[in-house]
Amino acid sequence: MLRALRNILRLIGIARTLALHDALFPLDWLPATGGLILTARLLSGFRVKRSIRALRPGERLAIALQELGPSFIKFGQMLSTRPDLVGESIADDLSDLQDNLPPFSSAEARRDIEAELDGKLDDLFVSFDDEPVAAASIAQVHFAVTKPTPHEIAAAAENDAPVVGRDVAVKILRPGIEKAFERDLELFRWIAGVVERTQPRLRRLKPVAAIETFAEAVHREMDLRMEAAAAVELAENFADDANYVVPAVDWERTGRRVLTTERIAGIPFHDVDDLREAGHDLEAIVRHASENFFRQVFRDGFFHADMHPGNAFVQADGALAVVDFGIMGRIDRRTRYYLADMLLGFVTGDYDRVADVHFRAGYVPSNKDRQTFKQAVRAIGEPIFGRPSAEISVARLLAQLFQVTEQFDMETQPQLLLLQKTMLLAEGVGRQLAPDANMWQLAQPLIEDWMHEHRGPEAQLAELAADAFRAAERLPHVVGEIERAARAMADGKLRVDFAGDTARAPQWPLWLAIAALTILVLAT
């Protein structure tokens, strides 16, 4: 009761901020919020900030969330990957939510570095810039120069080289950010629980699971060792590709609250004029970016999921360098094949294939009409692929596909929503650099080679054989489980519930119990 009262009071304060920004509409998605909305308007004096009146609803909501603080900024960014929850227009506006806040003091930064790394700052760095180069909702970044370690000094002496420090970027978590997030996550969990209990039509969207996914992502972001590990994994995946650069991690100066990496030099990816002035081939940059993104998604199943322009730089030799690995996406092998088959079906106009892959993957329940779903798929594909190639957006295609989820009871796939939003960011930046080019068309030779290798007839036959082999490997374990169940039934330790009474334990599926009985009969 006390928890509910505390959350209600906090919700009223949040609603007042939303009212001041004319952004109360998210409360319409919650049950029985009329009283809360009226209270918020009363507390705001029915006033709306004049500067935001002409903005779109999503833009007003983005400003309100930024004012509410770090947890709400991150929550808004999560919502930007869920057009199925908030609609495509609002999701697009939330994707522009600026993740920047006033910096915390350099004194706090220095104190936290020393506490985390258990050493004096002067013993770690020759110099440390007091002014941060970036300040976001969770952390801020300072440039520094490392103090050479005894190993580095010895190596320099052995090679008769000068002893110099390395230019690095030091990322430090905001003081107290963990407690602030936990307080807000408790509120988000409570709201999601209320929605799931009281709104049956919204249960398929898995609000509780969505918040837990958000919480897991935030907890990973707030352990900078996880970000360091992600950077190392991405670097290993592209170790043989000179066109894609990931900064090296300085593990000696990295901990849970501090991350030190190689400092990256280059022109920001979105500075078109500077790139052109430096003599770069903009279409080649887009092609390399597209190829690298394709490899991350389909070859590795591990991709950089925060590819806004501030996280990518073009180096002097044309290589693309990326930073900030707090948000990464993973896609398993089967999902990658689903994506490949689905996109291939759209590109070739084979809507039977698109429908079939959705049913085979279990994304559309088997009781839904396949032909009606195929008709919906055609309605998505025909308008998109009838346009000039430069205007075709795979991200928009996925977004429209996800919009049919409610009609066909498709379960939400968070990893695909994150991929779609990342694609949208990548396509947007690509069009800034080369408006007349399509990033997927530029990467077409690479895509065709991958499709032939992984989705051709021979590859699919090999996949079936591999699945059969894995099933055969699991068979002894399954038989062992059935034998153990049979012995438990014979000893009276296992009861089969034919009446559906869930009060007794343990309970086993009826099919397993019948199989166990069969083995028991055959064995006696």
Kindly report, residue by residue over 239-255, the tens digit of the pLDDT.
999 999 999 999 999 99
Structure tokens at 520: 């028991």
Split at pLDDT 50, 70, 90, the class of 478 is low
CA-nearest of 32, 50, 34, 39 to 16 is 39
* pLDDT at residue 504 tops 70: no
Choosing from 455, 480, 499, the residue where a domain stops is 455
Specify whether 333 is located in the same domain as 473. no
Q: What average pLDDT does range 384-388 have in this prediction?
A: 68
Q: What average pLDDT does range 50-76 have in this prediction?
A: 87
Split at pLDDT 50, 70, 90, the class of 11 is confident
User: Which has the minimum average pLDDT: 11-20, 289-298, 363-372, 383-392?
Assistant: 383-392
Split at pLDDT 50, 70, 90, the class of 375 is very high
Q: What average pLDDT does range 170-191 have in this prediction?
A: 92
Split at pLDDT 50, 70, 90, the class of 390 is low
pLDDT at position 416: 79
Specify whether 285 is located in the same domain as 432. yes
Specify whether 303 is located in the same domain as 448. yes
Q: What average pLDDT does range 291-306 have in this prediction?
A: 91
Q: What residues contact residue 486 under an 8 Å CB cut-off, 6+ apart?
A: 516, 517, 519, 520, 523
pLDDT at position 295: 92
Q: Which residues are paired to 259 by β-bridges?
A: 171
Q: What average pLDDT does range 384-411 have in this prediction?
A: 73
Specify whether 390 is located in the same domain as 312. yes
Specify whether 251 is located in the same domain as 380. no
Choosing from 98, 122, 150, the residue where a domain stops is 98
Q: How many CB atoms lie within 10 A of CB 160?
A: 6
CA–CA distance, 362 with 365 (Å, rounded to integer): 6
Specify whether 308 is located in the same domain as 222. no
Specify whether 321 is located in the same domain as 430. yes
The residue among 471 and 414 whose pLDDT is bigger is 414
How much of the chain exceeds pLDDT 70, in percent? 83
pLDDT at position 516: 43
Q: What residues contact residue 98 under an 8 Å CB cut-off, 6+ apart?
A: 62, 66
pLDDT at position 201: 72
Specify whether 426 is located in the same domain as 306. yes
Specify whether 182 is located in the same domain as 295. no
pLDDT at position 507: 43
Split at pLDDT 50, 70, 90, the class of 120 is very high
pLDDT at position 497: 52
CA-nearest of 135, 128, 133, 145 to 175 is 135
pLDDT at position 111: 96
* Stretch (H or E) spanning 384: helix 370-385
CA-nearest of 470, 422, 93 to 289 is 422
Q: Annotated active-site positions, please? A: 306
CA–CA distance, 398 with 389 (Å, rounded to integer): 17
Question: Could you give the count of Cα atoms lying within 13 Å of 328 in the half-sphere of its Cβ?
Answer: 22
Residue 37 DSSP code: H
236 and 342 in contact (C-beta within 8 Å)?
A: no
* pLDDT at residue 147 tops 80: yes
Considering its fold, how many domains does the chain have in total?
4
pLDDT at position 280: 94
pLDDT at position 232: 98
Q: Which of 28-42, 167-181, 357-371 shows the highest mean pLDDT?
A: 167-181
Specify whether 242 is located in the same domain as 113. yes
Choosing from 409, 438, 455, the residue where a domain stops is 455
pLDDT at position 417: 75
* pLDDT at residue 12 tops 60: yes
The residue among 278 and 397 whose pLDDT is bigger is 278
The residue among 56 and 387 whose pLDDT is bigger is 56
CA–CA distance, 494 with 481 (Å, rounded to integer): 13
The residue among 413 and 422 whose pLDDT is bigger is 422
Give ∠ CA 212-216-218 in degrees, rounded to 5: 115
Instruction: State the pTM of this model.
Output: 0.77
The residue among 8 and 461 whose pLDDT is bigger is 8
- Helix, strand, coil: what percent of the chain each, to 5? 60, 10, 30
Specify whether 292 is located in the same domain as 413. yes
Q: Which residues are paired to 134 by β-bridges?
A: 141
Specify whether 316 is located in the same domain as 444. yes
pLDDT in tens, 198-252: 877 777 777 888 888 888 888 888 999 999 999 999 999 999 999 999 999 999 9
* Stretch (H or E) spanning 329: strand 328-330
Split at pLDDT 50, 70, 90, the class of 491 is low
443 and 423 in contact (C-beta within 8 Å)?
A: no
Compute the mean pLDDT over every residue in the chain, rounded to the nearest whole number. 81
Domain hosting residue 243, numbered range: 100-263
User: Which has the minimum average pLDDT: 131-135, 276-280, 403-407, 507-511?
Assistant: 507-511
pLDDT at position 510: 42
Give ∠ CA 181-183-184 in degrees, rounded to 5: 65
Q: What average pLDDT does range 86-108 have in this prediction?
A: 83
Dihedral of CA atoms 81, 87, 89, 95 in degrees, nearest 10, equals: -20
User: Which has the minimum average pLDDT: 30-34, 274-278, 508-512?
Assistant: 508-512
CA–CA distance, 248 with 57 (Å, rounded to integer): 41
End-to-end CA distance of the chain: 58
